Chain A
Amino acid sequence: MMQQITLQHILLLSTALFFIGVFGLLTRRNMIAILMSIELMLNSVNINFVAFNKYLYPEKLDGVFFFLFVITVAAAEAAVAIAIIIHLYRYNKQIDVSETEEMRY
């Protein structure tokens, strides 16, 4: 018999996803990749929302609503981020964050 998928499994998945995102955020130099890492982190949070809703309060829909809300915000954020990236590209002719250090002391 197949083992039931429990809340712990899903939390493990989302944690793994989150830290993959953090790792990408800290190590990648390409801004697109950084943006993708941020999306990963957001989605790990979304998984948590849905999972907790399903397992702890099945009679409510708050987690699902929040998940939809986060997706919307994420889409807007991606639009802004891509606009910034394009701008940076026009300005620097590349999108490597390690080369973009104007905003320092």
Chain B
Amino acid sequence: MNEGLIVTFLLCLPLSAFVVIRLFTGRRWQIFSGYLSTLVLALTTFFAFIMAWQYFFVYGKMDGAYALFVPIDMNWLVFTNDLSINFSIIIDSISVMMLLVVSFISLMVHVFSLAYMKGEQRYGYYFAYLSLFTFAMLGLVLSGNLFELFMFWELVGISSYLLIGFYYTKPSAVAAAKKAFLVTRFADFGFLIGILMLGGVANNFDIVQMIRSIAQQQALWEGAGTSFLGMSVLTWACLLLFMGAAGKSAMFPLHIWLPDAMEGPTPVSALIHAATMVVAGVYLIARFFPVFQMDATVLYVIAIVGAGTALFAAIIACTQADIKRVLAFSTISQIGYMMLALGVDDSLNGLHEGYTAAMFHLFTHAFFKSLLFLGAGAIIHTVHTNDMHEMGGLRKQMPVTHISFLIACLAISGIPPFSGFFSKEAILSAAYSNHKWLYAIGVVTAAITAFYMFRLYFSIFWNKPLSPVFIKKEGSWLIRIPLIILAVLVLITGFIPFGNFISANGKPLPLEVHFGFSVIPVSLSVLGIFYAAVLYYQQNNLPALLEKSFGWFYITIRQKFYIDEVYLFITHKIVFNVIGNTTAWIDKNIVDGLVNWSAGITYQFSVLIKKVQSGKIQQYVLYFLLGVLCLLAVVLYNN
């Protein structure tokens, strides 16, 4: 089948679901909106599967490498002869892979939400926003023009904003939505400048041509004449693109919005803030990887930021009590892993493992993290609390959730044979062959990850006997089926020979699992699990003792290293007081002053002359006569 047609269907279906739901299903019919958008999503997923099948097994391969196709390239916004923005679609291995992931996870979340959001007052809005998000995310992964990509990027941001603030009567949700929007907007500012720099020098916004022309003019890019603060234009542009990516993917120090974003409904967290939207930054860097590859400095920065964020978020996750926040920090940590993998891709030595490893981890992470979040959703749906200290002993009551959650925890901890093991292994081996110290950070992070995931697991399902408050049973089949499907996928996705399908240059790159190599990380992870079991398998006073012995250090971690407070200090004390007050003064006194002054002058003048309009007829007659006399005088004088 024609791939251009399939792509059109893929994009138009969720969009039309959004439009139809918002326009035609009011409050009375909103129960149908869920079924409608789930049905549409099922169709979309079906098309995505067809497309992936055809790309990977029918036409994608050319000369032994997966090629890039541009099935649609239309004129869209034509400004001048030189500057036009096209609407184009890119099909290559990563975009097809993302298509699969986005549509499939979205479908699972839709099915889950049918039960989870039942009885919600704004049920229709919820599904409309989900459809909008799916449309935007599919557009984002398919766009072949950098500006088009930016627009979808912002659309994804707005639907994330709408869904975080879904419970808009809760002040904390409103604050979280605003925070997410502002932080990512700040990052997008850098992203936009990066786009303009790249586009300005490459003279084009089309991604394929951009990459080609940058590769051709590499010497020109890195010439001495174009440097600024000691770095070339290319470095600056790549760093600014990375800033945008870091904002969306919650890299340190722009990560502060993601934990708060958990105020949204839990299935939304599974879809947007764990599996799909937050990896858009990773996807962006992968999309521009030929450009990033040219600059070792930028790649090194990406690797350091990724590794640092991974460790930092993992440490914080050990101290959080809200189960969704633990998962949020683990998401940040895992995305840090992906960034690390991209950063250690060493093309000079022909080692492209990092790129494939990052995409592989993105793929497996999407499944086990959405499974974790949906499991958390099922738990919250049953016990109506987010605090893990109030839970415990839920394993008998929620068997399906328990087993699937356990599988996901094992996967994220990198225990073979679950999917996370394979992708994490690939990342660590890529790091090992490039920078040893980044590898060390990766291994330590893996151990900490295992510890906090099993802290979460034991606290929820074991720890203390079941509290009599929680008499509700596990949710309906609509809640259980997505969990089961995802758990099965987490079990099998690791065995996909991922390197055969996705690599930086399209040629197959076998990812080998070296059993000797994996001994250290796996044994450290097992140690982490064991440690968590000792502390949290049964209720005891060891965790409290441990907290006390760490003292202020523990408190600092629990307060997330006071990053939020630093931001508040910078924004409130410095930005608001110094810049805000100054501009407010200038605005009030100079900008407004000018306008007020001219208005005042006009008023005074009118006070002076309005006496003429007295309303006395005889005065008017007198003026008229005087005027006639004047005219007469002029006429007589001129003759």
* A interface residues, Cβ below 8 angstroms from B: 22, 25-27, 34, 97-98, 100-105
Contacts and interface: CB of A to CB of B under 8 A. Distances in A.
B621 A104 contact: no
B613 A105 contact: yes
Interface in B331-390: none
Given A101-B616, A103-B615, 13 more contacts: A22-B625, A26-B622, A27-B618, A34-B617, A97-B618, A98-B616, A98-B618, A102-B615, A104-B613, A104-B616, A105-B610, A105-B611, A105-B615
A27 B616 CA distance: 12
Contacts of B616: 97-98, 101, 104
A101 B625 contact: no
23 contacts: A25-B618, A25-B621, A26-B618, A26-B621, A26-B622, A26-B625, A34-B617, A97-B616, A97-B617, A97-B618, A98-B616, A100-B615, A100-B617, A101-B614, A101-B615, A101-B616, A102-B615, A103-B615, A104-B615, A105-B610, A105-B611, A105-B613, A105-B615
A33 B613 CA distance: 23
Nearest to B613: A105
Contacts of B611: 105
Nearest to B622: A26
A59 B7 CA distance: 98
A95 to B, nearest CB: 12
Contact of B614 (A26, A34, A104): A104
Contacts of B615: 100-105
Interface residues of chain B: helix, strand, loop or mixed (majority) = helix
A98 B610 CA distance: 18
A96 B614 CA distance: 15
A104 B611 CA distance: 9
Contacts of B618: 25-27, 34, 97-98
A77 to B, nearest CB: 15
A100 B618 CA distance: 11
B451 to A, nearest CB: 82
Contacts of A103: 615
B607 to A, nearest CB: 10
A15 to B, nearest CB: 14
Interface of B: 610-611, 613-618, 621-622, 625
A102 B616 CA distance: 9
A105 B614 CA distance: 7
A24 B615 CA distance: 19
A98 B621 CA distance: 13
A103 B619 CA distance: 13
B268 to A, nearest CB: 62
A103 B616 CA distance: 8
Contacts of A27: 618
A48 to B, nearest CB: 16
A102 B614 CA distance: 9
Contacts of B621: 25-26
B632 to A, nearest CB: 14
Contacts of A104: 613-616
B330 to A, nearest CB: 74
Contacts of A34: 617-618
Among B611, B614, B617, B625, max chain A CB count under 10 A is at B617
A102 B617 CA distance: 11
A24 to B, nearest CB: 11
A103 B618 CA distance: 13
A10 to B, nearest CB: 21
A22 B614 CA distance: 20
A102 to B, nearest CB: 6
A80 to B, nearest CB: 15
A96 B126 CA distance: 73
A100 B613 CA distance: 13
Nearest to A98: B616
Contacts of A25: 618, 621
Contacts of A102: 615
Contacts of B610: 105
A27 B618 CA distance: 8
Contacts of B622: 26
Contacts of A101: 614-616
A27 B611 CA distance: 20
Contacts of B613: 104-105
Nearest to B609: A105
Nearest to A97: B617
A101 B613 CA distance: 10
A97 B615 CA distance: 10
A104 B616 CA distance: 8
Nearest to A102: B615
Contacts of A100: 615, 617
A69 B616 CA distance: 31
B7 to A, nearest CB: 68
B602 to A, nearest CB: 14
Among B610, B613, B615, max chain A CB count under 10 A is at B615
Instruction: Report the 8 A-B pairs with minimum CB-CB distance, sorted nearest first.
Output: A104-B615, A101-B615, A105-B610, A105-B613, A103-B615, A104-B613, A97-B617, A104-B614
A73 to B, nearest CB: 19
A26 B611 CA distance: 19
Nearest to B617: A97
A105 B606 CA distance: 10
Among A26, A34, A104, max chain B CB count under 10 A is at A104
Among B613, B614, B616, max chain A CB count under 10 A is at B616
B618 to A, nearest CB: 6
Nearest to B606: A105
A22 B611 CA distance: 23
B169 to A, nearest CB: 52
